[in-house]
Amino acid sequence: MPEKHRYKFCFGPWNISEGQDPYGPPVRPPRAFEWKLAQLKKLGFDAMMFHDDDAVPDLDSKSESQIRKETKELRKKLDGEGIAAEMVAPRLWFAPQTVDGAYTSNDAKHRQYAIKRSLRSIDIANILGTDILVLWLAREGSYIRESKNARRCVDYLVNAFDKMLTHDKNIRLAIEPKPNEPMDHAYLPTIGHALAVAQLTRDPKRVGCLIESAHAILAGLDPADEIDFAMAFYKLWSLHLNDQNGLKFDQDKPFGSNNLRAAFNQVRALERNGYGQRGEYVCFDVHPFRTTKVEHWLAHLDNSRRTFLKLVEKARSFNEMKAQQLIADRNYQDLDQMVIEHLMGK
Ligand code: XUL
Ligand code: MN
């Protein structure tokens, strides 16, 4: 077991969400960023994640100097609270220019928009003091396969990543794969795809990944195996823990809410690879249920962390010696039961 360490935790302002879905309006009132930051602090989390326009609202309508000024003000606010910025992610799925994709749009002007906005996000990351740019490639894929040339789209993605790597010699790109939603099929649906495309860029060692539990489950994969795979390459630079009940819309349930054993295995994978020991954060990309009342608005965040910490204890108190004996005897039947009873607290 690697040296025991304290994990650092984070979430994003979008994780205190208002409950809107495609079928109904918000059910909780919008709250200002300052309120969300105060809640994060009150809960004792260490850092916040930012989309570029979480950091600077309406940034497309602002000048470069205005964006810089507002980002510096945010940095001051965060420093004042002792809260770090974990990452910045360009929100490339809201603007009219990204209706048909961002880096892989069929329209060259729109591809340029996406790249320019990403470079601006890197500048924001620099001011906020993080070297991680998260790329959730929301609209890089197709609804209608014949509408795009998937081979050319790989070149477009590599070209965009190369521009970012050139723009800043220290920035690290953490690709967050998701196989579907909003697209029918995404071009980089898994960690294997993300790490493969990294090899085509001008500086592969600065292109890594972020694993989100729900996204791996949507790809039909086990998030724990995705963690071990990414960490074999030393390329797991961020993490969105949550849960997902099978192949349906992206649910972002509290960590461990659907499958406690799968959550236990994710924690075991993190522990055995020493996740967090190079400064990485454990982030919860979780949302409150739509039914959640205002007075219970932060429970999904606190509960996810509680579950995580309990599972760290479970991972550290798992009888590895006994497990190894059962493995040596190929007695996976009893190994299976041993895990179940360990989780049940027998
Ligand atoms: C989308 C998702 C995003 C990213 C950040 O499914 O997970 O919130 O994590 O852009
Ligand atoms: Mn996420």
Q: Given pLDDT bands bounded at 50, 70 and 90, which one contains residue 346?
A: low
Angstrom distance (rounded) from CA 177 to CA 135 = 8
Whole-angstrom distance, CA of residue 176 vs CA of residue 138: 9
- pTM metric for this prediction: 0.97
- Domains observed in the chain: 9-317 (3.20.20.150)
Among protein residues, the one with the nearest Cα to ligand 1's atom 4 is 136
Contact 240, 213 (CB under 8 A): yes
Neighbours of 279 (CB within 10 A): 11
Ligand 1 centroid vs 318 CA: distance in angstroms? 32
pLDDT in tens, 220-274: 999 999 999 999 999 999 999 999 999 999 999 999 999 999 999 999 999 999 9
Separation CA 275–CA 33 (nearest Å): 29
Q: Model confidence over 172-226: pLDDT tens digits? A: 999 999 999 999 999 999 999 999 999 999 999 999 999 999 999 999 999 999 9
- How far is Cα 282 from Cα 47, in angstroms, rounded to an integer? 10
pLDDT of residue 1: 40
Mean residue pLDDT of the chain comes to: 97
DSSP string covering 126-138: HHHT--EEEEE-T
Strands 141-142 and 185-186: antiparallel
| pLDDT grade for 2, boundaries at 50, 70 and 90 | very low
Q: How many CB atoms lie within 10 A of CB 37?
A: 18
CA-based nearest residue to 301, from 75, 42, 24: 42
Helix (H) / strand (E) element for 85: namely strand 84-89
Return the ligand 1 atom nearest residue 212 CA: 7
Query: Does any ligand 1 atom lie closer than 6 A to the CB of residue 240?
Result: yes
Q: Which amino acid would we find at residue 281? A: Y
Dist CA 219 CA 29 (whole Å): 33
Cβ–ligand 1 distance for 54 under 6 Å, the answer no
- What totals of helices (H) and strands (E) does the chain contain, helices first? 12, 10
- Residue 263 CB less than 6 A away from ligand 1: no
